[in-house]
Amino acid sequence: MHITHATDLHAWDDFLASQPWSPFLQSFTMGEVYQDIGQKPIRLVAELHGKIHGICFAHLVSARRGKHLSVPYGPVIDDAVNEHDATLMTKGFIDALVKEAKKLGCSFLRISPFWMQGRHAAAEEALGSVQSPLHLLAEHVWYLPLRDAAGKLKNEEEILMEMRKTTRNLIRRAERDGVTVRASKNPNEELKYFLALHEETRKRHGFTPYSDSFFTSQVNRFSKRNECTLYLAEYQGKVISASIHMHCFGETSYHHGASDSTHSKIPASYLLQWTAICDALKRGDSIYNFWGIAPLTPVPNPVPHPFSGVTLFKTGFGGQILNLVHCKDTPVTKAYWLTYAFERIRKWRRGF
């Protein structure tokens, strides 16, 4: 087995597309996005007998809580390899990332794989020596299968009937109220509508946002590849809801959303999601990924889970939950433990 730095975009994405779960955050293009905003990308491939059997994309994060390497929804291990090889591959990736981290002056690695709980039991042990105090990405993912058990694409009526009745009614009500939803033909130009709504949403809910430069690069890089859609929901001539949807490797992901609080009684977001689902069906996608929700079995905590507010909204469209393994950390220097202590307190305060 050989762990090397990747240079071939097509070989990388072809491997990712061949897997049952192909998180776009591990795509080659995502590395270009982080490069644009000054976060060095590191792309590693694992080869057996000259064939790629695993990939791992990481990027440098210079955060106040500690400079570190972040691995979003990786590594991706070939679903066909046995547990022994999966574990060797994982160890190889971690060893290579630790070497990179030392060169870059990082204090730890933070790894959040898109692995179902129990899928790679032995390999999980190799991911890191510490359970991360905070999650890196959503670990309880709500997704809607767009194909039946035989692999046949569902139709709109089937999807509608699988929804909660209230959700169907709110979609129809938005249409009656005169809400219209369109996919922007000039996403780079019209991203300003999303950014304005996102800033308002951030202030309303008090979360830490991605930067405008991140959104700009993501939309620019992925829309060039026809892998990103900016949806705008309009009411009485004004954009009151917007979203950035990714569609890569047969999966559509609802990645970012924002809305106008002054029109909170107008169910524009329901019609926006339904429009994106219909577009995914037209593309022949297999999965519609709503991303994070709160755990369906809540953990006792005096502070509500930050995803509690969106859970009812997302689950109303029908679908299933995917519980992923928890984020793992690998300390590189003793400075990591200051980060660990700070984030333990932060976790409790934020309701996770």
Measured at the CA of 177, the angle between CA 172 and CA 178, to 5 degrees, comes to: 100
CATH 3.40.630.30 domain locations along the chain: 2-137+326-350, 142-323
More confident residue, 155 or 310: 155
Task: State yes or no: pLDDT of 209 exceeds 80.
Answer: no
Q: 225 vs 32, 97, 222, 342, CA distance in Å? A: 13, 29, 5, 40
Cβ count near 100 (within 10 Å) = 18
pLDDT bin (cut points 50, 70, 90) of residue 203 is confident
Sorted by sequence, the CB contacts under 8 Å of residue 212 that are 6+ apart come out as 195
Task: State yes or no: pLDDT of 303 exceeds 70.
Answer: no
Percent above pLDDT 70 for the chain: 95
- Look up the CATH number of domain 142-323: 3.40.630.30
Model pLDDT, residue 136: 86
pLDDT bin (cut points 50, 70, 90) of residue 246 is very high
More confident residue, 186 or 50: 186
pLDDT bin (cut points 50, 70, 90) of residue 63 is confident
Annotation: CATH topology of 2-137+326-350: Aminopeptidase (3.40.630)
How does pLDDT run across 322-348, given as a tens digit for each residue? 999 999 999 999 999 999 888 887 765
How does pLDDT run across 215-239, given as a tens digit for each residue? 999 999 999 999 999 999 999 999 9
Sorted by sequence, the CB contacts under 8 Å of residue 290 that are 6+ apart come out as 141, 142, 143, 144, 254, 314, 317, 319
pTM: 0.93
Least reliable range by pLDDT among 83-92, 148-157, 190-199, 203-212: 203-212
Model pLDDT, residue 219: 98
Measured at the CA of 277, the angle between CA 156 and CA 254, to 5 degrees, comes to: 160
Model pLDDT, residue 351: 54
**What's the mean per-residue pLDDT of the chain?**
92
Model pLDDT, residue 350: 61
